[in-house]
Amino acid sequence: MKRRVVKQGDPPSSARGVQSSDGAQKKEAAPSRWRLKIGLLALFIVTISLPFSVKMLPQLIQHLVYTHRIRLPFFVDLSRPADFSLNHTINMYLTSEKGISLGVWHTVPANQWKEAQGKDLAWYQSTLSDGNPVFIYFHGNGGTRAFPPHRVGVLKLLSALGYHVVMPDYRGFGDSTGEPTEDGLTTDALYIYNWVKARSGNSLVVIWAHSLGTGVTTNAAVKLIKQGVDFDGVILEGAFNTAQQQIPMNPFHWYYWKIPGARYFYTPPWATNNYIFPTVENLKKMRCPILILHSKDDNLVPIKIAQGLYEVAVSAQNAERVKMVTFDGSLGYQHNGLYIDPHMPDILKKFVASL
């Protein structure tokens, strides 16, 4: 597989170069001043040229948006979930469309961990219809399904509560093949849902979507509605609204807002139709129970955005079917840490019981 690596640390590492020349200043003042100047010039060129090159290179945009080639954590074997102390998890590869292979984990409820030892795919698949709710987790941008602590953390939490968890990496993420696009991610999500539904019997199938996954999930929900199908329930954690989130708030643009001046040169990607994620429009059409989870100190998506989404969803349905739980900023959960809240098990059990 061809790998083009977009280095997460590119602009900051130029900055580090400047610092190290600073450090050398004590010894040889004159040359180091030169190095400092060259460093600053390089930083300036990177700062100025990156947004321009982004305008010219849609592919680069794609990499920055999905940051999918940054395979955090590094040096792990995603095919061995036991390495993440998931001893009741199987790794598999599912083909969501021709040529697209998705790496997927399936974790059974934690109380089945002993039984799960040494079991094969067929056994795992047969458990999906054991009556325990099945959660499908659609993760955010960047990294892989093993991204600790929060993805593995959510997985362990759900499993401890007695739920199955199916957690895919979208195309282009982790060890999945292909390149990510909005349509492609939506297709992957629908495929995973249908794959689970074909095996889950009468069990509830609940979607937990985080960040980028919330856009993917509401897209998938609307496609399903066209086929006359609703999700049983959807959790939207750290949901964003592309239409409202200008730089510097859009979660995909941290790359840019960390670079001074970038925003003045940068065309918002939603103006180029490369990706949209029309969550507001989607929520107006959705009819399944929805639980919105958001921390008041979310550093990527301000709480106001989530409140706006909640209001849209409530007026499309009602306050009985659409709930929002917020977490105080003093808890420090930001964008990813909500799963550690001591009330989370009760919040989840209540939601599942309401479905």
Ligand X SMILES: *[C@@H]1O[C@H](CO)[C@@H](O)[C@H](O)[C@H]1NC(C)=O
Tell me if residue 335 is catalytic.
Answer: yes
One residue of 87, 267, 315, 354 binding ligand X per CB under 6 A: 87
One residue of 88, 151, 323, 335 binding ligand X per CB under 6 A: 88
CB nearer to ligand X: pick between 120 and 320: 120
CB nearer to ligand X: pick between 109 and 289: 109
Residue 208: closest CA among 277, 151, 125, 129: 151
CB nearer to ligand X: pick between 69 and 106: 106
Rg of the chain taking only CA atoms, in angstroms: 22
Phi, psi (rounded to 5 degrees) for 353: -65, -25
Residue 308: closest CA among 288, 286, 328, 292: 292
Least distance to ligand X, CB of residue 88, Å:
6
Exactly one of 211, 253, 295, 341 is catalytic; name it: 211
Answer yes or no whether residue 164 interacts with ligand X by CB under 6 A: no
Q: Distances in Å between the alpha carbon of 90 and those of 78, 155, 192, 197, 236?
A: 10, 13, 15, 18, 25
CB 92 within 8 A of CB 104: yes
Least distance to ligand X, CB of residue 350, Å:
23
Exactly one of 175, 188, 298, 341 is catalytic; name it: 298
Least distance to ligand X, CB of residue 275, Å:
36
Least distance to ligand X, CB of residue 46, Å:
45
CB nearer to ligand X: pick between 87 and 246: 87
Least distance to ligand X, CB of residue 119, Å:
13
Least distance to ligand X, CB of residue 109, Å:
9
CB nearer to ligand X: pick between 117 and 227: 117
CB nearer to ligand X: pick between 87 and 272: 87
Interaction residues for ligand X, span 105-134 (CB under 6 A): 110, 113
Chain Cα centroid distance, residue 339: 14
Tell me if residue 22 is catalytic.
Answer: no
Q: Binding marks (x or -) toward ligand X, 29..68, rule CB under 6 A? A: ----------------------------------------
Least distance to ligand X, CB of residue 114, Å:
8
Q: Given CA atoms 226, 231, 232, 235 in this order, what sign does their dihedral have?
A: negative
Tell me if residue 175 is catalytic.
Answer: no
CB nearer to ligand X: pick between 84 and 147: 84
Interaction residues for ligand X, span 186-215 (CB under 6 A): none
Exactly one of 150, 253, 335, 341 is catalytic; name it: 335
- The count of chain residues that interact with ligand X, using the rule CB under 6 A, is 4
Residues annotated as catalytic are 211, 298, 335
**Residues at the contact surface with ligand X, assessed by CB under 6 A:** 87-88, 110, 113
